[in-house]
């Protein structure tokens, strides 16, 4: 293959610079002892200290993490069940219908999901707050898990199940000792994706959260609306590190998911 010319290299470099500039800009100013994001006075860690001393903020971070973990676990469980149900569906058109329904929440704009869930929760009397946010996050993560798990199921040879049946495995055995181990990489990928969707979500949470409950995104939004505080910068530095850890984890799992099958593109 031809080597990249000088212009394409410059172009790619420019794209990378632009993509990363805002992130590093935020982190850079998180060490600024001055009050704003325009002139750097001197190095300080006071904003990081402020993050760790702000109990309210820490509770919000904790809420965000709890919501992400719980919704990740529950949506993965339901999503795997859903993928299995779709996999075992005999009727082609029914399967297609369920798949399209599954995809609706993926393509729906967040605003629509948020608004419709808000009406729904009000109608059935779910109090806005922790419960409504958790349920919404589970709801919008399920289709993602299904999308991640289903290809793994479809890739699995059906002879594996037949062989297990021939060898006298019970249905429970087939599930726990044949199917689940096989689709495990898909399950983990789905879980990680659900986790990041939940951590990242703003619009849906913004609609279904009540007055007393807040997640990080919603909190950053209201902080940003009132003006610049470097506490957000320090927080973003911390989030960046957490994100990198998650991405790395996801990447390693993704690679593991590919390698055992030896499928090369």
For residues 216-255, which are near another protein according to CB under 8 A? 216-217, 220-221, 224-225, 228, 232, 235-236, 239-240, 243-244, 246-247, 251
Site for another protein in 1-20 (CB under 8 A): 1-2, 4, 8-9, 11-12, 15-16, 18-20
Q: Tell me whether residue 112 is exposed, middle or buried, using C-beta atoms within 10 angstroms of its C-beta: 0 to 12, 13 to 18, 19 or more.
A: middle
**Nearer CB in complex with another protein: 111/163:** 111
Shortest distance, CB of residue 46 to another protein, whole angstroms? 18
**Nearer CB in complex with another protein: 44/229:** 229
**Nearer CB in complex with another protein: 131/175:** 175
Site for another protein in 23-82 (CB under 8 A): 23, 25-26, 29, 36-39, 77-79, 81-82
* Residue in 85, 163, 180, 252 binding another protein, rule: CB under 8 A: 85
Site for another protein in 124-163 (CB under 8 A): 139, 142, 147, 161
d(CA 115, CA 110): 8
* Long-range CB contacts (within 8 A, 24+) of 60-67: 60/214, 60/215, 60/216, 60/219, 61/216, 63/130, 63/213, 63/214, 63/215, 64/199, 64/215, 64/216, 64/217, 65/199, 67/130, 67/133, 67/134, 67/137, 67/198, 67/215
Q: Tell me whether residue 139 is exposed, middle or buried, using C-beta atoms within 10 angstroms of its C-beta: 0 to 12, 13 to 18, 19 or more.
A: middle
**Nearer CB in complex with another protein: 127/171:** 171
Which residues neighbour 255 within 8 Å (Cβ) at sequence distance 6 or greater?
A: none
Q: What is the 3-state secondary structure (H, E, C) of 206-248?
A: HHHCCCCCCCHHHHHHHHHHHCCCHHHHHHHHHHHHHHHHHHH
* Residue in 115, 131, 169, 253 binding another protein, rule: CB under 8 A: 115
Shortest distance, CB of residue 187 to another protein, whole angstroms? 15
Binding mask 157-196 for another protein (x = CB under 8 A): ----x---x-----x---x--------------------x
* Residue in 105, 128, 169, 178 binding another protein, rule: CB under 8 A: 105
Using the rule CB under 8 A, give the single segment among 49-57, 83-91, 126-134, 177-185 that binds another protein.
83-91
Using the rule CB under 8 A, give the single segment among 54-62, 108-116, 126-134, 179-187 that binds another protein.
108-116
The three-class DSSP label of residue 156 is: coil
Residue 32 main-chain phi, psi, to 5 deg: -85, 130
Which residues neighbour 56 within 8 Å (Cβ) at sequence distance 6 or greater?
A: none
* Residue in 123, 166, 263, 264 binding another protein, rule: CB under 8 A: 123
């Amino acid at each position: 293959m031809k080597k990249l010319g000088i212009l394409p290299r410059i172009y790619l470099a420019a794209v990378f610079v632009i993509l990363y500039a805002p992130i590093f800009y935020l982190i850079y100013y998180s060490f600024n002892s001055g009050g704003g994001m325009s002139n750097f006075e001197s190095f300080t860690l006071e904003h990081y200290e402020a993050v760790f001393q702000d109990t309210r903020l820490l509770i919000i971070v904790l809420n965000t993490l709890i919501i992400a973990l719980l919704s990740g676990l529950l949506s993965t469980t339901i999503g795997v069940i859903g993928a299995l149900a779709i996999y075992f569906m005999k009727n082609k058109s029914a399967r297609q219908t369920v798949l399209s329904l599954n995809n609706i929440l993926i393509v729906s704009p967040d605003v629509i999901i948020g608004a419709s869930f808000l009406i729904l929760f009000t109608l059935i009397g779910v109090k806005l707050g922790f419960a409504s946010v958790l349920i919404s996050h589970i709801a919008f993560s399920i289709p993602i898990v299904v999308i991640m798990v289903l290809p793994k199921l479809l890739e699995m040879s059906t002879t594996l199940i037949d062989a297990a049946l021939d060898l006298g495995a019970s249905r429970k055995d087939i599930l726990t000792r044949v199917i689940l181990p096989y689709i495990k990489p898909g399950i983990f990928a789905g879980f990680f994706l659900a986790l990041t969707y939940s951590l990242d979500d703003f619009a849906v949470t913004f609609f279904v959260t009540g007055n007393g409950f807040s997640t990080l995104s919603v909190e950053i939004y209201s902080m940003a609306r009132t003006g610049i505080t470097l506490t957000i910068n320090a927080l973003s530095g911390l989030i960046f590190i957490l994100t990198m850890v998650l991405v790395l984890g996801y990447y390693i799992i993704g690679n593991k998911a590919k390698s055992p099958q030896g499928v090369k593109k």
